[in-house]
């Protein structure tokens, strides 16, 4: 049979446009043709075009790439674990792939990725034996333990390049001159006694290139399961369940029998709020609504004729506040709590069974995304710690793939990630061995608790001391990377200048002519960094560089790899030392293209991961949000894999923050939103997507509607009735055995024409083929009759395909700047473009198509991150959010025009998202009303009578009651609720107003809005961890709150002085005006405290400008409506 020894050497590098004899053999729709490039020993590339190769005859072995699928039998074992496949995987993980629009996709084999010593055995730069071939400086191939791979019994050490060349030339070992025998190594041969999951054709019987037949190339062979699922016999009789009735139920393997014989247990459950709390809460909402209606009616029919202007302004503001309160309060009618059962999840998916003796996991794969853009504002050490927490998560290692998107294309980030991958070789097994929490090393070593608590292993203290020293050295290396890169680049630049001078002398050029050598940024292996250079130049700037892809850690083996006492620095005996797949990506950027900021980077990650790993689920995290609970992924998977989980588009986890001052001055924890509003939305159609800490169903991100088994069954029945034999399949009816078939493209979306797939998803064939696979693998288990859209147990125990250069090159093509042209990426597919709050819009689109989401609050926080505790940074953060909401209001993403699939209360919640910034217009006016009342001596009502006070008292009591009950069912503190109220007024009078102005300017004048990235750094190193809290940085957003505060203070002073000297003092109106002024000032107290800073650091100009504006407004009011002077005694106070 044709085996992988016919695949091309890594020296034959191809673009993702295609390759001979493969599924990418045709030129893509963009006109990109297949190009080849051979990298010489000097690092240069020699291009070979396909036209230069004689195509008339038989192609040479250098460019052959074909596979013949022959069903595995005991006499015909798959050769996927051969040396060639391992060599190809190691080559991929040691190569830096670059490419883009109208450029050759190249694989740059790196001798080293970082200057320091690499500990992971398969990373570039790791210690290894030298190739024994003459004049070859390559390193011998290694397995996951770092042991040399020798493909011949004579143990002749040979590198991957020389091995592939020897195979293609003579297939003789250069050492003993004997032919290579594929698959005859003791450690590589199939192990029949391990009982792994069978990798056979899928339940539908298809054997195409995306079926289970292809996926079986990296697993073991099980005679019994092969006989069972193929209904065949071997020898005499059938070794497993003889088909006495002539057949079996389709769609189920042996694993499904174990699952269906057990009693069904739910993975999650809803916990309703206690009736003693929620019933009075709903009653108070209704009572306050009635009281507000009567109060507003009374206010309208009883105007203040003495100050009709004041009465009119107050009425308008109060009507809007009532409308805003209804939008905010009514979605809180049905809050719920949820709980998960991790033991049932383990029992269903991870426990050994007769068909799965080794307990290989049946859980679906998950791809984890981390995005970063600027290493100066997002420190690489913070990002590296986030990556380490992901690599150490408690989830089957072979099911995890971690991706980092570096939108800045910085070598600093690249090398920091390589350092993290190297350190993970120690950190991840250490966490597993001693059950460490949290698995962010920086947070773990900063804990103020006894580290030995609940630790029973005698070597824990010794191991912790060693790993702490290694982590300190790791931090020093990360912090020293900028200087290391600069010194290295300067040295190589000086060398290049000397070469140029020597060349000029040899050619007789003018010695006085200035040497022009571009100031490049150099990698550790002595080659140019293809991304952004420190000194920007053409093709090497932040907005102008090639796409970069590096598989830093290749996919792990499907079965555990136990460590030993002497393998590493620590004793990892009986500890699985495998590491998850880890990929660095920097998408291509070119001038003239709109790269759509974070949303564009996330969509590039979606496409890359679909081609490389295609996990049915996606978790996205900001670079400063790390996994605090290593079981958080399993908790989220309890909802996705439970009955009805196929209709869940994403699981939203609450955001929790560290490093915030104990008083939470600016409501950074935002607990009212995360524990109140989001918990309430969970009882409707689900919480909103808030940008990080979210587990997505990949299929939902592709813009499809949620699955409808009844509709699909009816469609299939209609297809069968018409006699369409090409698409006939069994209808998806109630019995699980008939509901486990993968869907065709027309069934995924009836409006989707398979011929127009490139119009929606782009021209990547691998991406298009991965969509139904992701949908099928993301279904819950069909282990209960009520599961109408499931999959049979056991099919996800199949190992993933090994990576090859063609697959990675296809992924490079998918991150090019032109890929999204004339597609629906950003419009219907993936993260949605057009708003700075792309997260809310993306979640809204899913809910608008009928999907549901779930809010997962874990006992131990799932994720933790950082938040800006500085007043200026906090205001700019809120400004960005509010501006995005204004954009949503003026766009087609306004929930007012949403589809009928959006529930009414969910619609009100989304309407509130677009409306809340406009409250600032009325809030600012209302904050000035007390001062205007005090200046004029009038009040918003004609008389402060019993009726007005009764209404005011009733509304206040309802407000207090609602606050206390909401605090009760949401679990937040009363002080947190008050901090939220304070910052609502601070942001409403500053950032929200600016957002409305900017949004209107964008809609009317087309003025684009740009925002700077929020800094994640903690400032200078000092003893005060909250030093940034007291730092005052001037911004014009501070002016409106300052003016409001000063105007109200001056108004109180003027009004009190006037009443003290007045003959007929109107104390009732004075008290009413002062009460509302104090209400305003109490809300602005945190703002004033933050403005004062520490040791008087506030710029003097701030107070000068604010005082000048306040005094001017006061004098202007006195000039327009001076107080009357009749009947005043001598010496009475006179307003100037």
Query: Which amino acids are annotated catalytic?
Result: 407, 839
Indicate the SS3 state at residue 1051.
helix
What span, in angstroms and rounded, lies between the C-alpha atoms of 255 and 257? 5
The vertex-135 CA angle with 129 and 137, nearest 5°, equals 35
Please check whether residue 581 is in contact with residue 402, taking contact to mean a CB–CB distance below 8 angstroms: yes
Please check whether residue 1083 is in contact with residue 985, taking contact to mean a CB–CB distance below 8 angstroms: yes
What span, in angstroms and rounded, lies between the C-alpha atoms of 719 and 747? 11
What span, in angstroms and rounded, lies between the C-alpha atoms of 175 and 155? 8
Contacts of 583 (CB under 8 A, 6+ apart): 401, 402, 403, 404, 549, 550, 551, 552, 608, 609, 612
CB atoms within 10 A of CB 431: 25
What span, in angstroms and rounded, lies between the C-alpha atoms of 393 and 45? 40
Indicate the SS3 state at residue 825.
strand
Indicate the SS3 state at residue 98.
strand
Indicate the SS3 state at residue 1128.
coil
Indicate the SS3 state at residue 322.
helix
Q: What values do phi and psi take at 134, rounded to 5?
A: -60, 140
Residue 642 in tokens: 């439970």
Please check whether residue 543 is in contact with residue 536, taking contact to mean a CB–CB distance below 8 angstroms: no
What span, in angstroms and rounded, lies between the C-alpha atoms of 159 and 209? 30
Q: Per-residue DSSP letters for 639-670?
A: HHTSTTGGGEEEEEPPP-EES--TT-TT--S-
List, in sequence order, every residue forming a beta bridge with 47; answer none if it has no partner: 37
Number of Cα atoms under 13 Å in the Cβ half of residue 116: 22
Match 């703002």 to its residue by tokens.
1087
Number of Cα atoms under 13 Å in the Cβ half of residue 933: 28
Residue 1109 in tokens: 């504006």
What span, in angstroms and rounded, lies between the C-alpha atoms of 1130 and 797? 97
List, in sequence order, every residue forming a beta bridge with 650; answer none if it has no partner: 696, 853
Burial environment of residue 1019 by CB neighbours within 10 A (0 to 12, 13 to 18, 19 or more) = middle
Of the candidates 823, 830, 835, 824, the one whose C-alpha atom is nearest the C-alpha of residue 696 is 830
Residue 940 in tokens: 């918003």
What span, in angstroms and rounded, lies between the C-alpha atoms of 876 and 334? 33
What span, in angstroms and rounded, lies between the C-alpha atoms of 18 and 64? 12
What span, in angstroms and rounded, lies between the C-alpha atoms of 213 and 986? 61
Of the candidates 749, 755, 641, 636, the one whose C-alpha atom is nearest the C-alpha of residue 700 is 749
CB atoms within 10 A of CB 839: 23
What span, in angstroms and rounded, lies between the C-alpha atoms of 1035 and 447? 36
Q: Per-residue DSSP letters for 978-1015?
A: HHHHHHHHHHHTTHHHHHHHHHHHHHHH------PPPP
Helix axis angle for 871-889 and 974-988, nearest 10°, is 70
Q: How far is CA 219 from CA 67, 81, 181, 648, 804, in A?
A: 17, 8, 20, 31, 17
The alpha-carbon radius of gyration of the chain (Å, integer) is: 34
Q: What values do phi and psi take at 579, rounded to 5?
A: -120, 145
């Amino acid at each position: 049979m044709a085996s992988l020894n016919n695949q091309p050497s890594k020296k034959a590098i191809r673009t993702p446009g295609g390759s001979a004899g493969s599924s990418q053999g045709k030129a893509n729709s963009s006109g990109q043709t297949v190009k080849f490039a051979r990298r010489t020993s000097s690092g240069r590339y020699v291009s070979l075009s396909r036209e230069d190769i004689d195509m008339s005859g038989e192609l040479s072995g250098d460019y052959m790439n074909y596979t013949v699928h022959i069903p595995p039998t005991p006499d015909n074992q798959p050769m996927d674990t051969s040396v060639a496949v391992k060599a190809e995987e190691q080559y991929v993980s040691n190569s830096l792939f670059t490419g883009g629009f109208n450029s050759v996709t190249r694989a740059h084999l790196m001798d080293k990725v970082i200057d320091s010593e690499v500990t992971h055995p398969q990373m570039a730069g790791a210690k290894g034996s030298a190739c024994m071939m003459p004049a070859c400086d390559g390193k011998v191939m290694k397995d996951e333990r770092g042991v040399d791979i020798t493909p011949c019994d004579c143990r002749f050490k040979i590198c991957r390049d020389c091995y592939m060349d020897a195979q293609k030339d003579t297939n003789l070992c250069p050492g003993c001159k004997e032919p290579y025998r594929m698959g005859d190594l003791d450690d590589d041969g199939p192990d029949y006694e391990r009982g792994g999951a069978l990798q056979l054709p899928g339940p539908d019987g298809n054997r195409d290139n995306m079926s289970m037949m292809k996926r079986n190339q990296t697993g073991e062979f099980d005679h019994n399961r092969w006989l069972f699922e193929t209904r065949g016999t071997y020898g005499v009789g059938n070794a497993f369940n003889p088909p006495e009735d002539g057949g079996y139920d389709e769609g189920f393997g042996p694993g499904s029998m174990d699952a269906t014989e057990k009693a069904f247990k739910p993975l999650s459950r809803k916990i309703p709020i206690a009736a003693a709390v929620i019933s009075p809460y709903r009653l108070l909402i209704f009572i306050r609504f009635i009281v507000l209606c009567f109060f507003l009616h009374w206010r309208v029919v009883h105007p203040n004729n003495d100050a009709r202007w004041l009465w009119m302004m107050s009425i308008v503001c109060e009507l809007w506040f009532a409308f805003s309160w209804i939008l905010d309060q009514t979605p809180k009618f049905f809050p719920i709590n949820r709980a998960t059962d991790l033991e049932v999840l383990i029992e269903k998916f991870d426990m050994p069974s007769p068909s799965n003796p080794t307990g290989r996991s049946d859980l679906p794969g998950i791809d984890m995304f981390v995005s970063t853009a600027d290493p100066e504002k997002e420190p690489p050490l913070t990002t590296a710690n986030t990556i380490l927490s992901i690599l150490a998560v408690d989830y089957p290692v072979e099911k995890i793939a971690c991706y980092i998107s570096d939108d800045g294309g910085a070598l600093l980030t690249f090398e920091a990630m390589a350092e993290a991958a190297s350190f993970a070789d120690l950190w991840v097994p250490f966490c597993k061995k001693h059950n460490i929490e949290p698995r962010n090393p920086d947070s773990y070593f900063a804990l103020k608790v006894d580290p030995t608590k609940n630790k029973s292993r005698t070597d824990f203290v010794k191991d912790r001391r060693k790993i702490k020293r290694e982590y300190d050295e790791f931090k020093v290396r990360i912090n020293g990377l900028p200087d290391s890169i600069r010194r290295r680049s300067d040295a190589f630049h000086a060398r290049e200048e000397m070469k140029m001078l020597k060349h000029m002398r040899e050619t007789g050029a003018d010695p006085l002519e200035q040497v022009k050598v571009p100031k490049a940024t150099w990698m550790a292996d002595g080659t140019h960094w293809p991304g952004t250079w420190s000194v920007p130049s053409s093709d090497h700037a932040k907005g102008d560089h090639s796409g970069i892809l590096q598989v830093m850690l290749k996919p792990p083996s499907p079965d555990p790899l136990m460590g030993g006492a002497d393998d590493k620095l620590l004793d990892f005996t009986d500890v699985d030392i495998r590491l998850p797949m880890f990929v660095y990506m920097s998408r291509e950027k070119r001038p003239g293209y709109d790269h759509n900021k974070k949303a564009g980077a996330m969509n590039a990650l979606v496409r890359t991961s679909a081609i490389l790993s295609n996990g049915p689920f996606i978790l996205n995290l900001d670079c400063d949000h790390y996994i605090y609970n290593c079981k958080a992924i399993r908790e989220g998977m309890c909802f996705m894999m439970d009955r009805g989980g196929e209709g869940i588009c994403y699981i939203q986890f609450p955001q929790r923050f560290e490093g915030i001052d104990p008083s939470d001055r600016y409501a950074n924890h935002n607990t009212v939103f995360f524990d109140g509003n989001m918990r309430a939305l969970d009882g409707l159609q689900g919480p909103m997507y808030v940008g990080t800490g979210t587990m997505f169903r990949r299929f939902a991100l592709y813009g499809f509607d949620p699955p409808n088994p009844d509709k699909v069954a009816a469609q299939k029945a209609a297809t069968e009735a018409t006699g369409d034999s090409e698409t006939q399949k069994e209808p998806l009816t109630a019995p699980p055995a008939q509901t486990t078939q993968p869907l065709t493209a027309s069934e995924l979306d009836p409006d989707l024409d398979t011929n127009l797939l490139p119009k929606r998803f782009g021209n990547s064939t691998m991406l298009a083929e991965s969509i139904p696979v992701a949908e099928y693998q993301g279904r819950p288990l069909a282990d209960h009759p009520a599961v109408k859209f499931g999959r049979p147990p056991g099919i996800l125990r199949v190992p993933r395909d090994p990576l090859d250069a063609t697959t990675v090159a296809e992924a490079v093509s998918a991150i090019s700047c032109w890929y999204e042209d004339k597609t629906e990426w950003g419009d219907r597919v993936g993260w949605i473009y057009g708003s700075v709050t792309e997260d809310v819009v993306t979640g809204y689109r899913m809910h608008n198509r009928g999907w549901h989401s779930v809010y997962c609050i874990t006992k131990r926080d799932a994720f933790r991150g950082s938040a800006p505790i500085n007043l200026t940074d906090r205001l700019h953060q809120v400004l960005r959010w509010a501006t995005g909401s204004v954009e949503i209001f003026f766009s087609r993403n306004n929930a007012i025009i949403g589809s009928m699939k959006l529930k009414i209360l969910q619609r009100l919640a989304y309407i509130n998202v677009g409306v809340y910034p406009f409250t600032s217009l009325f809030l600012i006016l209302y904050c000035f009303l007390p001062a205007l009342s005090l200046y004029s001596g009038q009040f918003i009502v004609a008389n402060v009578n019993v009726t007005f006070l009764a209404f005011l008292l009733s509304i206040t009591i309802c407000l207090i009651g609602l606050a206390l009950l909401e605090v009760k069912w949401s679990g937040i503190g009363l002080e947190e609720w008050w901090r939220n109220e304070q910052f609502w007024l601070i942001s409403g009078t500053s950032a929200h107003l600016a957002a409305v102005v900017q949004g209107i300017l964008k809609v009317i004048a087309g003025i684009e809005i740009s925002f700077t990235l929020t800094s994640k750094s903690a400032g200078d190193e000092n003893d005060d961890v909250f030093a940034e809290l007291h730092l005052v940085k001037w911004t014009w957003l501070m002016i409106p709150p300052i003016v409001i505060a000063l105007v109200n203070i001056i108004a109180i002073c003027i009004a009190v002085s006037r009443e003290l000297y007045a003959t007929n003092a109107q104390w009732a109106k004075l008290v009413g005006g002062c009460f509302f002024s104090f209400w305003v000032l109490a809300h602005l107290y945190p703002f004033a405290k933050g403005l004062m800073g520490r040791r008087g650091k506030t710029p003097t100009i701030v107070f000068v400008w604010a005082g000048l504006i306040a005094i001017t407004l006061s004098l202007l009011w006195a000039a327009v409506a001076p107080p009357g002077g009749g009947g005043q005694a001598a010496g009475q106070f006179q307003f100037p």
